[in-house]
Amino acid sequence: SAVISQKPSRDICQRGTSLTIQCQVDSQVTMMFWYRQQPGQSLTLIATANQGSEATYESGFVIDKFPISRPNLTFSTLTVSNMSPEDSSIYLCSASGGTQDEKLFFGSGTQLSVL
Amino acid sequence: SQQGEEDPQALSIQEGENATMNCSYKTSINNLQWYRQNSGRGLVHLILIRSNEREKHSGRLRVTLDTSKKSSSLLITASRAADTASYFCATGRYNTDKLIFGTGTRLQVFP
The distance of A105 to chain B (nearest Cα, Å) reads 7
- Provide mean pLDDT across the span A27-56: 91
* A57-115 confidence digits (pLDDT tens): 999 999 999 999 999 999 999 999 999 999 999 999 999 876 556 789 999 999 999 99
**Of the candidates B41, B42, B102, which has its C-beta nearest A42's C-beta?**
B102
Q: Which residue of B has its CA nearest to A103?
A: B45
**A59 contact B CB<8A:** no
User: Residue A44 contacts by C-beta under 8 Å, 6 or more apart in sequence?
Assistant: A35, A36, A37, A38, A58, B3, B101
The distance of B111 to chain A (nearest Cα, Å) reads 24
Of B71, B74, B43, nearest to B56 by C-alpha is B74
- Provide mean pLDDT across the span A45-51: 93
Q: What is the pLDDT of residue A31?
A: 87
Q: What is the pLDDT of residue A37?
A: 94
Question: What count of other Cβ atoms lies within 10 Å of the Cβ of residue A107?
Answer: 26
Q: Which domains does chain B have, with CATH numbers?
A: 5-110 (2.60.40.10)
Q: What is the pLDDT of residue B98?
A: 85
CA distance B76 to B84: 11
- Decide if B48 and A103 are in contact by the 8 Å CB cutoff: yes
Split at pLDDT 50, 70, 90, the class of B97 is confident
**Of the candidates B40, B45, B102, which has its C-beta nearest A103's C-beta?**
B45
**A51 contact B CB<8A:** no
The distance of A57 to chain B (nearest Cα, Å) reads 12
**B44 contact A CB<8A:** yes
Split at pLDDT 50, 70, 90, the class of B53 is very high
Q: Say if CB B55 and CB B63 are below 8 A apart.
A: yes
Q: What is the pLDDT of residue B59?
A: 97
CA distance B68 to A96: 28
**A2 contact B CB<8A:** no
Q: Which residues of A touch B35 (CB under 8 A)?
A: 104
**B9 contact A CB<8A:** no
CA distance B11 to B19: 8
Q: Say if CB B57 and CB B7 are below 8 A apart.
A: no
Is residue B67 classed exposed, middle or buried when 0-12, 13-18 and 19+ CB atoms within 10 A define those classes?
middle
Q: What is the CA radius of gyration of chain B?
A: 13
CA distance A30 to A36: 20
Split at pLDDT 50, 70, 90, the class of B79 is very high
pLDDT > 70 in chain B, percent = 96
* B4-36 confidence digits (pLDDT tens): 788 999 999 999 999 999 999 998 998 999 999
Report chain B's mean pLDDT, rounded to a whole number.
92
Q: What is the pLDDT of residue A101?
A: 61
- Decide if B30 and A102 are in contact by the 8 Å CB cutoff: yes
Is residue A112 classed exposed, middle or buried when 0-12, 13-18 and 19+ CB atoms within 10 A define those classes?
buried
